[in-house]
Each structure stands twice: as C-alpha cells, then as structure tokens.
Amino acid sequence: MAPVAVFVGVMGAGKTTIGQAVAAQWGVPFADTDLIIEARAGKPIPEIFVDDGEDVFRALERETVASSLESFGGVLALGGGAILDEGTRKLLAAQTVVYLSVELTDAIRRVGLGAGRPLLAMNPRATLKYLLDQRRPLYQEVATHTVLTDGRAEPEITAEVIGLLRG
C-alpha cells in the first residue's frame, strides 16, 4: 500500500488543511507526519526542538515518512522541512506529490506569529523568507503536481487538486 497523494510546501502553504479536505472528499484516511511524530515522541513539536534539537526531529521525520510511505493508504501531509532530507526526497520519487506553493505575504498571514512552529519563534517574516528561498527548488524537485495557493480560498484549491489528480 502507498499513499494516494503526498502534500509538500512551506509552513502555511495549507498542507494539513487542504490534505484533510482532499481526503474527506475522496473518502480516504488522512495522516500528517507532524502528528505521528508528536505521538511517537510523546510531546509537541516545539518541545522536541527544545529538548532534543532539530536534528533529532529530522531523524524522526525521515523514519515517519519512510514508514508512512510503506504502509499508509490515504492522503499524507508532510512537515514543511521534510524535503531537506535527501533520503526523504528519494523516497518521494515514486509518489504522487502535490506541491502547494505560497509566497511570503500569504504564508506569513496564515501562520501569524508561528505558534506551534518552533522555527518561526524568532523573526518569523525574515525566517520564512529565508526558508522559502532555500526550499523552493527542493519542493519543485519532488513535485509531480504544483498548485498555486496565493490569494485563493481553501475550497478552490481543494477542487483544483482533485481535478489535477483525476488525470
């Protein structure tokens, strides 16, 4: 079994929100690697970053992506930084990967002050700009489909994803 679709994109792209909506419309399960990691670690992501550091989080993320890709049959949302790992990018090569793209203005509006997202705890606007510039080529590399989300409401984006994946 393998996921029907995997969502990637920077924080605030809408991976969790749109992934859930697409899964609901298809009538398939939804999973989010962030939630799986929190359950496995027994603590929220900000605490993993504080107690154990980003490297430990990335290792948990890599294992979680690998096991989900192997055994989960539904819609899978990744965390924004999962694609930083080369091994994860290789795993994604055989998958249907939807890149939800968003630029700085809308992304920052959506994540606000970054609550629950430890990488945005300080200077969220400058950090998000840096992360967008660093990661954009990696999202493009793994994507089989790209959907622009700037200035668009969730139902419209969900409908475009479903239309694109219909074939």
Ligand X SMILES: Nc1ncnc2c1ncn2[C@@H]1O[C@H](COP(=O)(O)OP(=O)(O)O)[C@@H](O)[C@H]1O
Ligand Y SMILES: O=C(O)C1=C[C@@H](OP(=O)(O)O)[C@@H](O)[C@H](O)C1
The binding site for ATP consists of 12-17, 117, 152
The reply to whether 110 sits near ligand X by the rule CB under 6 A is: yes
* Of 150, 147, 154, 158, residue with least CA distance to 104: 150
Distance CA 76, CA 65 (A): 9
User: 3-class SS at 98?
Assistant: strand
Give the footprint of Mg ion on this chain (CB under 5 A): 15-16
Of residues 1 and 113, the one with the C-beta less far from ligand X: 113
* Of 3, 1, 47, residue with least CA distance to 165: 3
Distance CA 21, CA 30 (A): 9
**Judged by CB under 6 A, which stretch of 11-19, 50-58, 124-132, 136-144 contacts ligand X?**
11-19
Identify what 118 binds: ligand X, ligand Y, Mg ion, none; CB under 5 to 8 Å per kind: ligand Y
* Of 162, 157, 125, residue with least CA distance to 17: 157
Identify what 45 binds: Mg ion, ligand X, ligand Y, none; CB under 5 to 8 Å per kind: ligand Y
Give the footprint of ligand Y on this chain (CB under 6 A): 11, 15-16, 34, 45, 79-81, 117-119
**Judged by CB under 6 A, which stretch of 37-45, 46-54, 126-134, 147-155 contacts ligand X?**
147-155
Tokens of residue 18, six digits: 């749109």
